[in-house]
Amino acid sequence: MSRKYFGTDGVRGRVGEHPITADWILRLGRAAGIVLAGNDKRGVVIGKDTRVSGYMFESALEAGLAAAGANVLLLGPMPTPAVAYLTRTLYACAGIVISASHNPYEDNGIKFFSAEGEKLPDAVEQAIEDELDQPFVTVDSAHMGKASRVDDAAGRYIEFCKGTMPFGTLLSGIRIALDCAHGSTYRVAPAVLRELGAKVHVIGNNPNGMNINDGCGSNNPGAMQAHVVESGADVGIALDGDGDRVVFADREGNLVDGDELLYIIASTRKQEGSLTGGVVGTVMTNFGLEKALAELGVPFVRTAVGDRHIHRALVERDWVLGGEASGHLLSLDRTSTGDGIVSALQILEIMVRTGKSLSELRDGMLKYPQIMINVPVSASAREQLSDSENINRALRDVENELNGKGRVILRPSGTEPLIRVTLEGSDSSQVERLASQLADTVRAELGS
């Protein structure tokens, strides 16, 4: 199936440019109502992050869904994983998130969850796209959908997050430097940590609609790393704009990314005999994680980039643990989708239970030098990547020089107009040189 609008994580783009316009989102709301709700009156949950354009798209979705006859449950600003959780517990027929995740405020997007709080299968996304091609027909007024607000949404989610910790486990005495990226976790994340007993020093918790992810959050962890040192915290935590990613820093301000967090969780579970099966990563996962897990006897497989691919691989194998270096981690025994707060609590729980610092917990994994260069390209140029003879020749030259002692990944971003050039190997200077060399070729051939 060839989808026109849905990428690796819903529909995303620049606000005001097709398809991220109010009129198109209105049509999307109606199409989603037809496909996901039909005659089901349980309601469709809508949550959003803190972008200023969220007001406009919330209204457009609400109108489109109502026109299709679907009832709407409005959550207001809530993390993406909270929408997944509340879709399940409110017994809604679907969930919708208005967010562009870690992107700047000028972007926005729409993500969907099934009634089970999971990302939609490709076939369902295709059905929504097919419905978009149909005439916009409003149901009879007697069957039109209604909208209501869920006033206790934040409290429900806070209690859920706390409930993923073993009963009686408290964070008393732990000092945490927390960066909420001026995003959707700005209220709930500090509340969860403080109610569990931690002393929390918060930054990135004053959203104004335009500062989401701006120099902060998991994509820009420098602010959090500096905040750890300045505040004298034991650990630092940075979430992204919609709350499904998390990265850490130790008390010295050293970054601990998603691959290392995944190692900490997996190795601890393995040692305690509670690990179910193996671990799923992606083609971008650092080889150091694969090697460290192999030494522990933990199976490891790679998928294409994107949590939907990781989720599918976990379900197929009946495993529960997977993730990406970005900090998008899945623990299917805790919740149905990637959840930055729940992932953070797992790490904090391990620290409390073992009495070890974050730097001690990650000691068993040695990361290989890895560099990623993003080359801006036009949307059409992304599709030409595999057809360029010069790029293919440069790629072969890099692979020949690595000679099996490293990896090169060349791929278009699924969410942004970029070609991602990634190299990994044991020699950091060689990795940097070859990555720049290949990126220059891509830029000359396809750069915007």
For the annotated catalytic residues, the residue numbers are 101
The residue whose two tokens read 């097709």 is: 18
CA 401/CA 430 separation, integer angstroms: 9
User: Quick one: three-class SS letters along 13-43?
Assistant: EECCCCCCCHHHHHHHHHHHHHHHHCCCCCC
What angle do helix axes 287-295 and 258-272 make, rounded to 10 degrees? Answer: 10
For 161-186, the DSSP string reads HHHTSPTT---TT-EEEEE-TTSTTT
Residue 246 neighbours by CB under 8 Å, 6+ apart: 218, 237, 238, 239, 240, 258, 261, 327, 329, 340, 341, 343, 344
**Rounded to whole angstroms, how far apart are CA atoms 416 and 378?**
10
- Peptide bond just before 19 cis, omega within 30 deg: yes
According to DSSP, the residues that pair with 119 across neighbouring strands are: 113
Closest CA to 153 of 188, 200, 127, 128: 188
Residue among 249, 284, 274, 276 at smallest CA distance from 372: 284
